[in-house]
Amino acid sequence: MSQFIPGAADLSDEYLEISEDDRLQEEKHFATVLNAFSKYEQVTFSEINSQLKHYESINPQYLNFLKDYKDRFRAVKHGAIFNYNFFAQILGPHLCEEFKFDLDDGVDILHMNPRKMNVASHQHDERTGPEDIEKVHSTLKQFVRDWSEEGSYEREKCYGPIIAELENIYAQDKRSEISVLTPGSGLGRLSWEIARRGFKSQGNEFSYYMLLSANYILNFVKKTNHFKIFPFIHQRSNNFQKSDPVRCVTIPDVNPSSLPKHSDFSMVAGDFLELYNDQPDQWDCIVTCFFLDTARNVFEYIECIHRALKKGGIWINLGPLLYHYAESYNSFSIELSYDDVKKVIIEMGFELVKEGVQNCTYTTNKKSMMALLYKSVMFTAKKITDKPKTDAWSDVAGRSYNYNRTKHT
Ligand SMILES: C[S@@+](CC[C@H](N)C(=O)[O-])C[C@H]1O[C@@H](n2cnc3c(N)ncnc32)[C@H](O)[C@@H]1O
């Protein structure tokens, strides 16, 4: 059974003590996320309308070469409508009223008014910025990576080697006793695949975009290919064919509720460091996939992983070192190279059992002219000492360092 805690607002105070200020911040942020989903159609239509104006402002003779240009814009709006209907399902419990789609007979999609979902975003009327809408777009692409047939190649390259390593290390008849944590679990497919193979699997995630979406797909969707989404309509460049950006992707490629009957699978909402720093010697295995570089201070992640693992526990990592906060202006961020990371891992009390490079992509559009290839590092490390073994450690251990950690994205 998958158990899901959909956000700090629903966590009891005993579970995670948070101040009133933090709670308000949390609610405000949640409202921003709900609003971003709810304004998707409005924002997308407005972008399409302004592109249409650009086309209509050029020399009409040029448009003779592109007689179907209006149909192309219609197709993009059509895709946006499907995406929006899908978001309405995801937001379900947070909607104030039923959201129905009645396309009036005879209404041309090109001139249709965007709809507006009425979301329960408390008393906050949060503004939706381009970065919020960008996260809604990324959520669509994350669905392709995790829950579509089209994403299977990417998953084979990223999740495949991790799963093979887990299967190699742990014999099948022992797996039900092995607890595996996947922090930064996104839409949950890797954690789900681990549970499917008989492990006790827990995902952890702090982004409300991911949490709301993962909650929906994991707990409410019971059929394969139940939804049509159009994740690439926002990609206007690097298309080979005019049909490429408006192609449909069906999700999910597997039935998310088809886990074996006694599976032990949970997803926990919250910041990895806040949740797992307090769980010493709990986990048999921690899997980080495209996660290590989400740290502002990667030392803290390594320390937390070390602490949370049992002695003899295994850490499997795969991913690049594209430090997420490195490019944000004036943002706290420490960026270590892999040789530094490796030194820290060993000094902190791990033995590096295996390492290599794995070529893989992340939420790639396979029909695009452009693809970003990561030469990801993959390693397996074993916790061999209870306490970090370096002498330098005694100087800093136990102190807490304060900097402005953005809790949610
Ligand atoms: C690059 S994505 C990778 C997602 C997934 N592992 C995959 O491979 O598709 C990193 C994820 O980690 C989450 N994340 C980042 N920092 C986190 C933190 N401190 N605690 C929990 N989740 C975090 C992000 O919200 C994001 O979903």
Provide the residue-wise pLDDT of the chain in tens; the chain has 409 residues: 344 443 333 333 445 567 888 888 888 899 999 999 999 999 999 999 999 999 999 999 999 999 999 999 999 999 999 999 999 999 988 888 888 777 666 789 999 999 988 887 655 666 789 999 999 999 999 999 999 999 999 999 999 999 999 999 999 999 999 999 999 999 999 999 999 999 999 999 999 999 999 999 999 999 999 999 999 999 999 999 999 999 999 999 999 999 999 999 999 999 999 999 999 999 999 999 999 999 999 999 999 999 999 999 999 999 999 999 998 888 899 999 999 999 999 999 999 999 999 999 999 999 999 999 999 999 999 999 987 766 555 544 444 444 444 445 5
Which atom of ligand 1 is least distant from the CA of 273? 19
**Any atom of ligand 1 within 6 Å of the Cβ of 183:** yes
Output 18-24 pairs: Cβ under 8 A, ≥24 positions apart.
22/407
Neighbours of 216 (CB within 10 A): 21
Residue 246, pLDDT score? 98
CA distances 376 to 51, 171, 192, Å, are 37, 27, 22
Mean pLDDT across the chain: 90
Residue 390, pLDDT score? 60
Angle between helical axes of 40-57 and 130-147 (0-180°, round to 10): 100
Task: Give the Cα separation of 202 and 265 in Å (integer).
Answer: 6
Residue 1, pLDDT score? 36
Task: Give the Cα separation of 11 and 22 in Å (integer).
Answer: 13
Enter the tokens of residue 298. Answer: 């990667």
Tell me which DSSP letter residue 384 carries: -
Residue 280, pLDDT score? 96
Ligand 1 centre distance from Cα of residue 148 (Å): 19
Enter the tokens of residue 61. Answer: 């003779």
The predicted model scores a pTM of: 0.92
Ligand 1 centre distance from Cα of residue 272 (Å): 9
**Any atom of ligand 1 within 6 Å of the Cβ of 317:** no
For residue 317, the cross-strand partners are 288, 379
Task: Give the Cα separation of 188 and 191 in Å (integer).
Answer: 5
Query: Are 245 and 233 a contacting pair, CB within 8 Å?
Result: yes
For residue 314, the cross-strand partners are 285, 382
Query: Are 203 and 210 a contacting pair, CB within 8 Å?
Result: no
Ligand 1 centre distance from Cα of residue 213 (Å): 14
Task: Give the Cα separation of 169 and 137 in Å (integer).
Answer: 37
pLDDT tens string 258-293: 999 999 999 999 999 999 999 999 999 999 999 999
Residue 16, pLDDT score? 56
Residue 288, pLDDT score? 98
Task: Give the Cα separation of 157 and 374 in Å (integer).
Answer: 11
Tell me which DSSP letter residue 92 carries: G
Ligand 1 centre distance from Cα of residue 206 (Å): 7
Tell me which DSSP letter residue 231 carries: T
Ligand 1 centre distance from Cα of residue 290 (Å): 7
Enter the tokens of residue 302. Answer: 């390594």
Pairing of strands 309-319, 283-289: parallel
Task: Give the Cα separation of 261 and 291 in Å (integer).
Answer: 30
Q: Check the CA dihedral 281-383-378-149 and report its sign.
A: negative
**Any atom of ligand 1 within 6 Å of the Cβ of 191:** no
Enter the tokens of residue 25. Answer: 């911040």
Residues in the chain: 409
**Any atom of ligand 1 within 6 Å of the Cβ of 186:** yes
Residue 49, pLDDT score? 97
Give Cα 154 distance to the centre of its chain.
15
Query: Are 239 and 278 a contacting pair, CB within 8 Å?
Result: no
CA distances 91 to 85, 96, 122, Å, are 10, 10, 14
Residue 274, pLDDT score? 96
Which atom of ligand 1 is least distant from the CA of 288? 6
Enter the tokens of residue 216. Answer: 């929906």
Residue 118, pLDDT score? 86
For residue 266, the cross-strand partners are 3, 202
Ligand 1 centre distance from Cα of residue 95 (Å): 26
Which atom of ligand 1 is least distant from the CA of 145? 9
